[in-house]
Structure 1
Amino acid sequence: MKFKFLNHKYVKPFKNGYLLIGIGFVVWMLFFDSNSFLIHNELNSDIDDLNDEKDYYINEITKDRKAIKKLSSEEGLEKFARENYYLKRENEDIYIIEYQDSLKTKDIE
């Protein structure tokens, strides 16, 4: 009786061939197969990231549609031109007031 530990109550179930094959199959499917659990988790995280990106772009499209709708009217187009390109009407003066904290300055060290 050289190998007494083989008759231990915790070792006996592992003598069953079906159990060993079943454990091997489960380990293979969880870690080594092309459809493994780890790959599924990675793909699910990629899907979540892509869904977040999709939601972001849907929101951006909605904002752009609102901006286009505003710019399609005369008043909206005039407001945009005045605010961004400092355009003016005839006989009108425009004064641009910049505050000290809004100016971009170079710090000389």
Structure 2
Amino acid sequence: MWHKIPPFFRNKYVLVITAFLVWLTFFDRNNFISQVRLAKTLTEKRVQKDFYLNEIKRDSISMHELMSDTVSLEKFGREKYIMKKDDEDVFLIVREKKKK
């Protein structure tokens, strides 16, 4: 049986390296599979970080605009919270969604 195996695979160094690679790939605490999974998670988190940084930047600009300009503050209040002056009437036009 031992003689049927090619001499390259009977070499003790090849056996040790193969066992080491199998250990690193499947059994080690920091195995290759978990490293790939962690790299994927890290990439997703970086994308989320960029998204939230852009959202913070956009919100900071709109907040600065609202704090500095009374016209934009009034427009925001009227559109977002349906605010009105005492002598005004507000009519909301609600459009029905088209059925597909």
For this structure pair, what is the TM-score category when the shorter chain's length is used for normalisation? 0.7 to 0.9
Work out whether 1:48 is the aligned partner of 2:21.
no
Residue 7 of structure 1 aligns with which residue? 3
- What is the Cα deviation at residue 87 of structure 1? 3.0
> RMSD across aligned C-alpha pairs, in angstroms?
2.1
Change in 2 beyond 3 A, CA 1:20/1:29: same
| Aligned mates of 2:25, 2:17 — CA distance in 1 | 12
Query: Higher relative CO (CA 8 A, sep ≥ 6), structure 1 or 2?
Result: 2
- What is the Cα deviation at residue 79 of structure 1? 1.1
Flag the structure with larger Rg: 1
Identity %: 30
Residue 82 of structure 2 aligns with which residue? 86
State how many pairs are aligned: 96
SS in 1 for 2:33: helix
Task: Provide the TM-score with structure 2 as the length reference.
Answer: 0.78
Work out whether 1:62 is the aligned partner of 2:57.
yes
Match of 1:76 among 55, 64, 72: 72
Higher helix content, 1 or 2: 2
- 5+ residue gaps, structure 2: none
